[in-house]
Amino acid sequence: MLELMLCSLLTVLPDYLYRRYGQGKRIGHEITLYSVWYELRWGITACLMLTVALITIIFYNHPSTRSVTAYFRTVPIVPETIGRVAQIYVGISDHVDEGQPIFRLDDASQRAAVEAARTRITETDAAMVVARSDVAAAEAQIVQANEALQQARDELAMRQELVARNADVVTRREIERLQNVVDGRVGGLAAAEAAREGAQSRLSTLLPAQKASAEAALVQAQTEFDKTVVHAGVSGRVEQFTLRVGDLVNPLMRPAGVLIPDGAGRETLVAGFGQIEAQIMKPGMVAEATCISKPFAIIPLVVTNVQEFIAAGQVRAGEQLLDAQQMQRPGTLTVFLEPLYEGGLDDVPPGSSCIANAYSSNHDRLAAGGLGVGTATYLHIVDTVALVHALLLRLQALILPIQTLVFSGGH
């Protein structure tokens, strides 16, 4: 309507003025309701053509969309294990800090596993004390075996010396017996040394390995025990947390609630523009938006990113071949908008629906020069008509609350 009024000022109004004052025709006489088309045909035709051209230029170079939302990320509150709720630390809607406990599962089995692992560590420590005693006992046996071996060797050496002096003093049988005693005590010394090596190996290798295994089992059991308490991964608000004591929670099938991080949805607006604007939308473009949750306000924005892919063409491997005819609705070009000034979206609740305009600028091209007269004139027109679209957005910001509250039944 606004474009039609502007175009009529340049076409229909001059035509009427010419008919009225140039040709002397009067309203109600020569210019009647039935003769309007014939009398003003040139102005009406030019007005309609200029209106269509103006609307095309405006909406192509300065695109607009109603598909704008302040998307925000939610974090599902789920435990890492299945269990029944034993204790709840927050309410249905409450703010939590990072690391704050939210609820606790029944931990009887995990607590028993922790105590069993600690008991195994205590048993291993006791076994190490016993092993040290075994090492000391083996060393004492080695000393005893050395003394006995030395005594047997001295006895054998004395008898052999007597035999060397007088062969009839000691019998050959006695010498063989003493030699056997020496050999046996050598074997006893070797056995005592082997027992000491075994006790030392058990003390230095086997028992430390068993203790390390028990400590690892304790860490694992403690980890499983810690999983029974679910903590907040980030600071934010817990919403619609209806979990109660006794409920069974399954991390794969039944989340406990939703955690909304602080600041979520207050930094970026996500807009879906028509595919025809794919060549116009560029990062750095200035944009504006008005949101239903913040009426009568225009939020200055800037385009920070334009998604290179349109979601409508996304495919996944399946059992059936893709039929392009099934894609009935064309997808939109996803554009990310951020506030031009800090805190621009602070008063906009996350999830709000908005209307956004993006404005293309040809100032740099015009300032660089080297353009033809026609091109420069067209670019000037393009930049100028952005004012019309900005005015339309402000009219929408004024009408939107009335339209929502009055003409939509208060919804």
Q: Are residues 284 and 403 in the same domain?
A: yes
Residue 34 covered by a domain: yes
Task: Name the E strands within 218-284.
Answer: 229-231, 236-239, 248-249, 257-261, 269-273
> Residue 320 domain-assigned?
no
pLDDT at 159: 65
Read off the pLDDT of residues 255-289 as tens digits, 9 standing for 90 and up.
Answer: 778 888 888 878 889 999 988 888 889 999 999 99
Q: Is residue 363 part of a domain?
A: yes
CATH of the domain at 304: 2.40.30.170
Q: In Å, what is the CA distance from 19 to each residue of 14, 25, 32, 42?
A: 9, 6, 12, 11
Global pTM value: 0.69
How high is the pLDDT of residue 162?
65
Please name the residue ranges forming H helices in 166-275. 172-201, 207-226
Question: Do 237 and 199 fall into the same domain?
Answer: no
Is 317 within a domain? no
Question: Which residues does the chain have with pLDDT short of 50?
Answer: none
Give me the domain span that covers residue 20: 1-59
Q: Indicate whether 392 and 297 sit together in one domain.
A: yes
pLDDT for 21: 77
Number of domains in the chain: 4
Same domain, 99 and 136: no
Query: What span, in angstroms and rounded, lies between the C-alpha atoms of 396 and 390?
Result: 10
**CB 289 within 8 Å of CB 68:** yes
pLDDT tens, residue by residue, 87-102:
999 888 889 999 899 9
pLDDT score of 161: 67
- Per the DSSP assignment, residues forming a β-bridge with 76 are 258
Phi, psi of 378 (to 5 degrees): -60, -45
